[in-house]
Amino acid sequence: MKMTIARFDPETGEESRYETFDLPELDRATVLQGLMYVYDNVDSTLGFSFNCRYKNCGLCGLTIDGRPHLACLTPLVDGTVVEPLHNLPVLRDLIIDRRDLFAALRTLTAFIPEPADSNCDAVIHEPAERAVYMQCVECLVCMASCPEYQHGDSAFAGPMVFVKLMQLHLDPRDAANRREQARQLGVEICLECAGCACPSNIPIRKGAIAGLLATDNR
Ligand code: SF4
Ligand code: SF4
Ligand code: FES
């Protein structure tokens, strides 16, 4: 079977290109296993990211046959074409640069600052709904599938950030107004959109974004 992979080496100064590899028939292999085969047997300079090998680390997000998905969840078929996630800067081959995105999250205070009188024994009662949004593994598949998100555009933060804000909105320890923060980060653009893709089945548009757009007191 054949597998075509986008290659990019910033040190050459050349544009990205595609390279097609011949692989043996790999029984029930995933796209990630195909990449591992190429790395182990054909070209150990191939750059790609992974860790857990099944849906937990969020590192193997790729554009596979034109659609963003996790490589460890996608069956490998003859003729598969693999590219890095779209909408994000590429460091090398299939590896995207996450640094700006996570640095931006810090500036958004997308975390709960530690209170001066923190009590480690306090029992936190959080809504069960929050557990759904805590399934986010930060794979960035939603960012790559969003037609509005552009890396570096501060006017629209993108779906993963909205999921983070919904996690905080539902956290009883969080005192910030996350709905207002989401509005300032462009969430109202989503009113016109059907929804985003998430391999963890997080209801981004109908759950997180709808919750941030709501005007009730919840
Ligand atoms: S609902 Fe919003 S975040 Fe999701 S894909 Fe549409 S515009 Fe992007
Ligand atoms: S919301 Fe889903 S698609 Fe987006 S980063 Fe989290 S796990 Fe990935
Ligand atoms: S290798 Fe960890 S999510 Fe795919």
- Residue located via tokens 């320890």: 173
Ligand 2: nearest atom to the Cα of 135: 7
The reported pLDDT for the residue numbered 126 is 79
Domains, the chain, in order of start with CATH, read 2-96 (3.10.20.30), 99-213 (1.10.1060.10)
The reported pLDDT for the residue numbered 120 is 64
Distance of CA 99 to CAs 13, 102, 104, 151, Å? 22, 5, 9, 11
Q: φ and ψ at 96, to 5 degrees?
A: -95, 160
- Which of 136, 145, 161, 190 to mutate for ligand 1's pocket (most ligand atoms within 8 Å of CB)? 190
Is the ipTM above a cut-off of 0.90?
yes
- Which of 30, 36, 39, 54 to mutate for ligand 3's pocket (most ligand atoms within 8 Å of CB)? 54
- The residues with which 7 forms a beta bridge, in sequence order, are 17
pLDDT tens by residue, 58-80: 999 999 999 999 999 999 999 99
Q: φ and ψ at 46, to 5 degrees?
A: -65, 125
